[in-house]
Chains A and B, each alone.
Chain A
Amino acid sequence: MDFWIDDIGWPFIKIFIIANVALMMVALLVWAERRVAALIQDRLGPNRVGPLGLLQPVADVIKLFLKEDLTPGHVNRPFFIIAPALTMMPAIISLAVIPFGASLIIADLDIGILFIFAISSLAVYGITIGGWASNSKYSLLGGIRSTAQMISYEICLGLSVIGVFMLSKSLRLQDVVLMQGDGIWLFGEHYTGIMGKILDWNIFKQPIGFILFMIAGFAETNRTPFDLAEAEQELAAGFHTEFSSMKFALYFLGEYAAMISIGAITVTLYLGGWTFFGLENLGGSFSWLTQILIFAVKLLALQFFFIWVRWTIPRFRYDQLMRLGWQVLLPIGLANILLTGVLKLIFKV
Chain B
Amino acid sequence: MAEEKTIEAAIPEADEDVLAFEQQVDIEDHMVLNMGPSHPSTHGVLLIILTLAGEEVIKAEPDLGYLHRGMEKIAEGHGYHKFIPYTDRWDYLAPIANNMTYVTAIERLMGVQAPERAEALRVICWEIGRIQSHLLGLGAFAMDIGALTIFLWTFRERELLYDLIERLCGARFTTSYARIGGVDRDPPADWLRDLKAFCTEFPDRIDEYELLLTRNRIWVDRNQGVGVISREDALAYGLTGPILRGSGVEYDLRKEEPYAGYEKYEFDVPIGKHGDCYDRYLCRVEEMRQSAKIILQAIEGLPEGPVILDDYKSSIPEKQGVLTGMEQLIHQFIVITEGPKAAKGGEYYFRAENPKGTLGIYAVGDGTNHPQRLRIRGPSFMNLSILPKLLPGHMLADVVAILGSFDFVMGEADR
Interface residues of A (CB under 8 A from B): 37, 40-43, 137-138, 141, 145, 224-225, 227-228, 231-236, 311-320
| Contact residue among A235, A311, A319 (Cβ-Cβ distance under 8 Å from B149) | A311
Q: Cβ of A234 and Cβ of B222 under 8 Å apart?
A: no
In the assembled complex, the Cα of A231 lies from the Cα of B147 at a distance in Å of 11
Q: How many Å lie between the Cα of A320 and that of B144 in the bound state?
A: 17
User: Is A42 a contact of B152 with CB atoms below 8 Å?
Assistant: yes
- B221 interfacial contact with A, CB 8 Å: yes
CA distance A235 to B399 in the complex (A): 11
Q: Which one, B143, B152, B221, B396, contacts A43 given CB within 8 A?
A: B152
Is B153 a contact of A42 with CB atoms below 8 Å? yes
Q: Do A233 and B156 have beta carbons less than 8 Å apart?
A: no
Residues of A close to B153: CB separation below 8 A: 41-42
Rounded to whole Å, the gap between the CB of B225 and the closest CB of chain A is 11
Cβ–Cβ < 8 Å partners of B397 in chain A: 228, 231, 234, 315, 317-318
Are B396's CB and A320's CB within 8 A?
no
The CA-CA distance from A319 to B394 in the complex, in Å, is 11
List of A residues within 8 angstroms of B145 by Cβ: 233, 314-315
Distance (whole angstroms) from the CB of A149 to the closest CB of chain B? 12
Bound together, the chains give a CA A269 to CA B396 distance in angstroms of 38
Query: Do residues A312 and B147 form an inter-chain contact, with CB atoms below 8 A?
Result: yes
Which of B33-41, B84-92, B120-128, B337-345 forms contacts with chain A? B33-41
Do A314 and B146 touch (CB < 8 A)? yes
Q: A42-B156, A312-B212, A316-B218 are in contact. Are A233 and B55 (CB under 8 A)?
A: no
Q: B26-52 vs A: 1/0 string, CB under 8 Å?
A: 000001010000011100000000000
User: 9 nearest interchain CB pairs?
Assistant: A315-B146, A41-B152, A314-B147, A314-B146, A233-B41, A314-B145, A233-B144, A317-B397, A314-B218
B146 with A312: CB separation less than 8 A: no
Given A40-B149, A225-B218: A137 touches B33 (CB 8 Å cut-off): yes
CB pair A315–B218 under 8 Å, yes or no, is yes
The CA-CA distance from A234 to B42 in the complex, in Å, is 10
In the complex, what residues of B have CB within 8 A of residue A233's CB?
40-41, 143-146, 400
With A314-B142, A317-B222 known as contacts, the answer to whether A234 contacts B149 (CB < 8 A) is no
Bound CA span A227–B218, Å: 13
Interface of B is mostly: helix
Cα–Cα distance between A49 and B102 once the two chains are bound (Å) = 49
Extra contacts, 11 of them, besides A231-B146, A234-B144, A314-B216 (Cβ < 8 A), are A41-B148, A41-B149, A41-B152, A42-B153, A141-B55, A228-B397, A234-B41, A314-B146, A314-B147, A315-B397, A320-B222
Q: A316: which B residues are within 8 A, CB to CB?
A: 218, 221-222
B149 & A312 in contact (Cβ 8 Å cutoff):
yes
Query: Are the CB atoms of A224 and B395 closer together than 8 Å?
Result: no
Give the chain B neighbours of A231 by CB distance below 8 A.
Answer: 146, 397
- The CA-CA distance from A82 to B398 in the complex, in Å, is 33
Residues of B within 8 A of A (CB): 31, 33, 39-41, 55, 142-149, 152-153, 156, 212-213, 216, 218-219, 221-222, 395-400
Contact between chains at B152 and A313 (CB < 8 Å): no
Determine the residue in chain B with the shortest Cβ distance to A42.
B156
A and B contact pairs by CB, cutoff 8 A, 28 listed: A37-B148, A40-B149, A41-B152, A41-B153, A43-B152, A137-B31, A141-B396, A224-B146, A231-B397, A233-B41, A233-B400, A234-B397, A234-B399, A235-B396, A313-B216, A314-B147, A314-B213, A314-B219, A315-B146, A315-B222, A315-B397, A316-B221, A317-B222, A318-B55, A318-B395, A318-B397, A320-B218, A320-B222
B residues less than 8 Å from A314 (CB atoms):
142, 145-147, 213, 216, 218-219, 222
State the CA gap A37–B218 with chains docked (Å).
20
- Give Cα A236–Cα B35 distance, bound, in whole angstroms: 10
Interface of A is mostly: loop
Smallest beta-carbon distance B238→chain A, Å: 28
CB distance from B250 to the nearest CB of A (A): 30
Residues in B neighbouring A41, C-beta threshold 8 A: 148-149, 152-153
Q: Which residues of A contact B143 (CB under 8 A)?
A: 233
A4 to chain B, nearest CB (A): 53
Cβ contacts under 8 Å, B222 to chain A: 314-317, 320
User: With the chains together, A224 CA to B149 CA distance in Å?
Assistant: 12
**Chain A residues, CB < 8 A from B395:** 317-319
Shortest beta-carbon distance, B143 to chain A, in Å? 6
Complex interface: chain A residues within 8 A of B55 (CB): 141, 145, 318
For the complex, what is the distance from the CA of A292 to the CA of B325, rounded to whole Å? 83
- A42 to B395, alpha carbons, bound, how many Å? 33
- Cβ–Cβ < 8 Å partners of A315 in chain B: 145-146, 218, 222, 397
Q: A residues within 8 A CB of B156?
A: 42
| Assembled-state Cα–Cα distance A37/B147 (Å) | 12
A138 to B33, CA, bound (A): 8
Q: Determine how close the nearest CB of chain A comes to the CB of B344; give it in whole angstroms.
A: 51
| Distance between B73 CB and nearest chain A CB, rounded to angstroms | 34
Q: Distance (Å) between the CB of A250 and the closest chain B CB?
A: 23
Q: State the CA gap A313–B218 with chains docked (Å).
A: 8
Closest A-chain residue to B401, C-beta based? A317
Compute how far the CA of A63 lies from the CA of B31 in the bound complex, rounded to whole angstroms: 36
Query: What's the Cα separation between A224 and B31 when bound, in Å?
Result: 27
Least Cβ–Cβ distance between B262 and chain A, in angstroms: 34
B283 to A: closest C-beta gap in Å: 19
B39:A236 contact, CB within 8 angstroms: yes
* Nearest neighbor of A313 in chain B, beta-carbon distance: B218
Q: Shortest Cβ distance from A302 into chain B, in angstroms? A: 20
Closest Cβ of chain B to A315, distance in Å, is 3
How many Å lie between the Cα of A311 and that of B212 in the bound state? 11
Query: Within 8 Å CB of B219, what residues of A?
Result: 313-314
- A319 and B397 CA atoms in complex are apart in Å by 10
Bound Cα distance from A41 to B153, whole angstroms: 6
In the bound assembly, the distance between CA atoms of A225 and B149 in angstroms comes to 13
Closest-CB distance, A328 to chain B (whole angstroms): 12
Residue of A nearest to B148 (CB): A311
Of chain B, the residue at the smallest CB distance from A319 is: B395
Residue of A nearest to B39 (CB): A236
Residues of chain A within 8 A of B398, CB atoms compared? 317
CA distance A225 to B145 in the complex (A): 10
**Distance in angstroms between the alpha carbons of A310 and B280 in the assembled complex:** 25
When C-beta atoms are compared, the residue in chain A nearest to B152 turns out to be: A41
